[in-house]
Structure 1
Amino acid sequence: MGPPAATLAPLDSHALAGLREHVHRALRHAILSGGFEPGARLNERAIAEQLGVSTTPVKEALRLLEADGLVKTKPRSGVIVNFDYAWAEEMILARAAIESTIARLAAQRISQDEQPVLEQILSDMRSATASEGAEELVRLNELFHGHIRSIARANYLRQLNDRQDVYDSDARRVIHSNPAERERALAEHSEIGRAIIARDAEAAEAAMKAHVLRAGESYLDLVFRKKKD
């Protein structure tokens, strides 16, 4: 029985009320950042020891991860990491299709009151990029995309997109660990924002699709392709 592949920091034992969710988040981040190889077996006891918790929240977290599709239980093999290159690639393509359509609708539906909010978020993103605040950039990135969804007022597409949220935050943390990526993302977000404010639906759709696909390629490089070098 060996330790898990990823290095997991011990959790605060006083946060018992949300312990299952803390374990869930820690494992999800480890999987999405490439800490576990596809097909790796996750040993509950070893994970519990590394996190400094009992096996109960680990078992519960693994069930949540299975519902997310990131792990699966195999007879005689236990819990196996299900997240791999093909899964990640499909995730990126799905997000590109959904987000680009939402951006198109946002450009068609944006009101005058909503424009200054989008401009302020972009201004804050420029400041955070200059100060290299990765965590703040992740927060602003989510705020930016969330505001665009709000502007679009597309409930059906928003429900589809919400299913991607399990991946997006952790994927963004991986991507924004790269300084060059942060600069590219700022330029792309600015292009998307300008197109939406200008009510240019085609440009907004194209810019969003290009951004998601390009950022997705960076994610695949960092998490999967780097291991082949």
Structure 2
Amino acid sequence: MVESNLPPAKETPRDSWARLGPLALQEGATAQSLVYATLRHALISGYFHPGEEISLRKAASVLETSVTPVREALRRLEGDGALETFGGNRVLRIPILTDAELVEIRDIRVILEGFAATQAINRIGPPQMRVIKNAFNLMQRATEIRDVDMYLENNWRFHSLIYRAADRPVLMDQIESLWMRVGPLIRMALTQPKHLDHSMASHSAALQALHDSDPDALQQAIASDISEAADDLCQALSKP
């Protein structure tokens, strides 16, 4: 993939809750489970920023539900390590990971996601390839117009479509738990020069490996994507 000469993506002031709306009710699903799933997806997709406080009442207002299911969902997310209590008032916020935590998560992700991808490669047929390619195309478009939100949404979609094809629910749950912790940080990596181009090169290599049914190449592409993102995150975090 040829690198572009476009500038890195830039963040503009935004309301982290702007992309969330009223809960879509589902038969057989509790309000708590829906709130939990909605906020889990928002964390994975990088809607929030490291250190950002999460207001119980704000969440209830945006999701148009009572505070009780929101409170229980936030407790679950805190138990997952996706939120932490901070300060004397014990407010909930998005954790700020240390360099050591980031490196450890990177190393675990390389192993788990590489394994999930190789387990999935022989299970992905033409219908699945079409939706994976669609996610790739939308990431490419987001790269061209420097749309951070569009990129993040389809970045997770691209990876999750591959990993879910492995049909390993416990493994997928572990991968999602790690993405909840790094999702808010991935947004920061996108402001680094050439990050989008390098990331798309890894995604392109992964797509080609899927097409060629080459598990070693796929594993390498996934590892490259994770490692380069972690390097850019470390650089972003080191800036004053």
User: Scaled by the length of structure 1, what TM-score is found?
Assistant: 0.67
Cα 1:23–1:150 shift into 2, 3 Å: closer
Alignment partner, residue 220 of structure 1: 234
CA RMSD of aligned residues (A): 4.0
Alignment partner, residue 71 of structure 1: 84
Cα 1:128–1:62 shift into 2, 3 Å: closer
**1:201 alignment partner, one of 210, 215, 221:** 215
Cα 1:156–1:197 shift into 2, 3 Å: farther
Number of residue pairs the alignment of both structures matches: 199
| DSSP-derived class of the 1:153 partner | coil
Question: Whole-Å Cα distance in 1 between the matches of residues 192 and 234 of structure 2?
Answer: 13
Deviation at 1:137, TM superposition (A): 0.4
Question: Whole-Å Cα distance in 2 between the matches of residues 132 and 82 of structure 1?
Answer: 25
Deviation at 1:114, TM superposition (A): 1.7
Structure 2 counterpart of 1:204, one-letter code: L
| DSSP-derived class of the 2:239 partner | helix
**Greater Cα offset, 177-186 or 207-216:** 177-186
Deviation at 1:66, TM superposition (A): 4.1
Alignment partner, residue 190 of structure 1: 204
For residues 64-91 of structure 1, give each alpha carbon's deviation from its aligned partner in whole angstroms, at most 9, with x where no partner exists.
Answer: 66424353579x8967967422222212
Deviation at 1:123, TM superposition (A): 1.9
1:110·1:197 contact (CA, 8 Å) conserved in 2?
Answer: no
Question: Whole-Å Cα distance in 1 between the matches of residues 185 and 97 of structure 2?
Answer: 13
Identity of aligned residues (%): 21
Question: Whole-Å Cα distance in 1 between the matches of residues 207 and 127 of structure 2?
Answer: 15
- Residue pairs, 1:164-183, within 5 angstroms: 164-178=178-192, 180-183=194-197
Q: Which has the higher helix share?
A: 1
**2:140 alignment partner, one of 113, 126, 141:** 126
Rg (Cα) greater in structure: 1
Deviation at 1:161, TM superposition (A): 1.0
User: Scaled by the length of structure 2, what TM-score is found?
Assistant: 0.65
Higher relative CO (Cα under 8 Å, sequence separation at least 6) belongs to 2
Alignment partner, residue 29 of structure 1: 48
